[in-house]
Structure 1
Amino acid sequence: MTVTSNAPKIISLDADGLTYRIEQFGEMLHACVHDGASIGFIEPFVMEEAVAFWRDRIVPALRGGKRSLFVALDDDRVVGTVQLDYDTMPNQRHRGDISKLMVRPDCRRRGIARILMMAAEDRARELGRSLLTLDTRTGDSAETLYASLGFVRAGVIPEYARDPFSEKLSATTVMFKHLSV
């Protein structure tokens, strides 16, 4: 993939870096949920809940050293993120989980999700992880993205998660990718 000069900068943040930018992360999460992203939250979803997610769940996970957080910055504005969770049981030290890939709705279709995923894969390789897993709402554009990155569909779980705007239950597609380390 060719990355143009106007591509956002991808960096890894620790707990302090996330705390410094926590309002921007909250704004991005809030915007994504209000745009219909199935990333664990439902309406009504207020900004305080978005900030609390990062503060109460992700900051401690980063402090624990078992998760990596990647962020796409466009002129110092948080426009995308993905996490690599490698807090696995002893018999699963060869794998990691991709979670919470999101790109601000006004910044989509620029390849940001793809370069974030590449950063997470590179980190997994550095850690000696040879298998990545993830799940995504069945039929979402993210499913196509993951397939284009080499993720393979393992199966579909029906009625897995509630739609952000209604009582409808959506299926999730579980995917995996083998990495060369």
Structure 2
Amino acid sequence: MTTDIRAPSPAVTIRRLGAREAAASVPALADVLIDCVQGGASVSFMWPLPRDKALAFWSGVADGVARNERVLLVAEAPGGHIVGTVQLATAMPDNQPHRADVAKMLVHRQARRRGIAQQLMAAVDDAARAEGKTVLLLDTVTGGDAERLYERAGWQRVGVVPDYALMPDGAFCGTTFFCKRI
């Protein structure tokens, strides 16, 4: 039975994946990544994004989870279908043990506008506290919807770098950096 991720759901479950679960979730995470890049998200990949490249990326993330270098959180619709994800990169240099980077906050396009991203961001704060992190950093496309999400979640805008990255279609985009003390 397949889950219709467009159907309204009363709740999603946000949970942290261990190493084995992360490895087993690589195909589902690749689906979310491919959907987001196809939809125009500037998240390090260009369109078209070959599935093998998406699978390799998530396999690397699962390896990072196994090495305790990353925290991987997922949003699951009823039935366990992954509809969103966010990571906390915790492996930092010796002089930055208190800091972590938030990366790849992704929500499948069919599951957006339901508060899932907000739930993921609250969960990443909790995960950071559990890991003993007090300063978080992230970056996002300047002018995108995510800027408002992060500001509502208590993040402070640090600055903008013009033409920092490319959109999946090859157009330049600025990047806004945010930080948060927790």
TM over 0.5: yes
Match of 1:22 among 20, 26, 42: 26
Whole-angstrom distance in 2 between the partners of 1:39 and 1:77: 22
Deviation at 1:115, TM superposition (A): 0.6
The equivalent residue for 1:47 is 51
- Verify: 1:84 aligned to 2:88, yes or no: yes
- Verify: 1:106 aligned to 2:95, yes or no: no
Match of 2:154 among 144, 150, 153: 150
- Verify: 1:169 aligned to 2:172, yes or no: yes
Deviation at 1:126, TM superposition (A): 1.6
1:40 counterpart letter in structure 2: S
What CA deviation, in whole Å up to 9, does each residue of 1:110-149 have, x standing for no partner? 0001111111100111222111100001011001100000
When normalised by structure 1's length, the TM-score is: 0.92
Match of 2:139 among 130, 135, 139: 135
Match of 2:69 among 66, 69, 77: 66
The equivalent residue for 2:3 is none
The equivalent residue for 2:11 is 7
Deviation at 1:48, TM superposition (A): 1.7
The equivalent residue for 2:126 is 122
When normalised by structure 2's length, the TM-score is: 0.92
- Structure 1 vs Structure 2: percent identity of aligned residues? 39
What CA deviation, in whole Å up to 9, does each residue of 1:27-56 have, x standing for no partner? 11111100011111002212221111101x
2:73 counterpart letter in structure 1: F
Whole-angstrom distance in 2 between the partners of 1:77 and 1:175: 30
2:72 counterpart letter in structure 1: L
Runs of 4 or more, structure 1, over 4 Å off, are none
Which ranges of structure 1 fall in alignment gaps of 5 or more residues? Answer: none
How many aligned positions are there? 174
Q: SS in structure 1 opposite 2:95?
A: helix
